[in-house]
Chains A and B, each alone.
Chain A
Amino acid sequence: KQEVTQIPAALSVPEGENLVLNCSFTDSAIYNLQWFRQDPGKGLTSLLLIQSSQREQTSGRLNASLDKSSGRSTLYIAASQPGDSATYLCAAAVSGSARQLTFGSGTQLTVLP
């Protein structure tokens, strides 16, 4: 059974810092991996999707990497802003017909002005 772990559970940084969020998964047979952000009381917003054949994806100040062999993904946020404050979730789509997502518990990020 796939298990996804995110470290740290919470992170507080001053505005302008670069930061890295970590995600690890136990079963390397994933279909893809997706990073989301969740704001309080809101649904999930997709940030980046990395297919199993890819190593990284970039969108603006965000860069996500995937290393299937080590079971790890990282989300790099450059020049953090207070508006980046949210919970960041990584989720691995399991191989198989349903390809449902297995989620980590999230990293709660606070960017201080």
Chain B
Amino acid sequence: GAGVSQSPSNKVTEKGKDVELRCDPISGHTALYWYRQRLGQGLEFLIYFQGNSAPDKSGLPSDRFSAERTGESVSTLTIQRTQQEDSAVYLCASSLVAANYGYTFGSGTRLTVV
């Protein structure tokens, strides 16, 4: 597609439920990143995928968070047993080759845990 697509755009879930967020990167972009932006705060790096290499999970805040990517296409970010502090905008970005040509971000998924 022309840009990075994320779905859903908004998600309200009850505390304790699992949620799955989806990211469709730009076709041909080998690098894919997930970031989180809590209200009034800066963006935090979560996880990085580059081709078929093992992902860099150093930014994941807890073992309730996991992400997968199939080859160089769609990625899903899963949050298990959601907590209120997980409420944030989750942003996905892709890059042609890890940051060489900059990042293109999606519009994000706004997650609210009630």
Contact = CB atoms under 8 A, between A and B. Distances in A.
Interface in B42-68: 42-43, 45, 48, 50, 56, 58-59
A21 to B, nearest CB: 15
B56 A34 contact: no
Given A97-B98, A105-B41, A34 B107 contact: no
B42 A98 contact: no
A103 interface: yes
A100 B104 CA distance: 13
**Main SS at interface, chain A:** strand
A85 B98 CA distance: 30
Contacts, number: 58
Given A104-B42, A105-B41, A98 B48 contact: yes
A26 interface: no
A100 B41 CA distance: 17
Contact of A43 (B45, B48, B50, B107): B107
Interface in A75-96: 89, 91, 93
Interface residues of B, number: 25
A46 interface: yes
Nearest to B41: A105
Assign chain A's interface to a size class: 20 to 34
Contact of A46 (B42, B58, B102, B107): B102
Contacts of B106: 43
A64 to B, nearest CB: 12
Contacts of B98: 97-99
Interface of B: 6, 33, 35, 41-43, 45, 48, 50, 56, 58-59, 91, 93, 98-99, 101-108, 110
Interface of A: 31-32, 34, 36, 41-46, 49, 89, 91, 93, 97-106
Given A101-B35, A101-B45, 20 more contacts: A42-B108, A43-B91, A43-B107, A43-B108, A44-B91, A44-B93, A45-B105, A49-B101, A89-B43, A91-B43, A93-B99, A98-B58, A98-B98, A100-B45, A100-B59, A100-B99, A101-B99, A103-B43, A105-B42, A106-B42
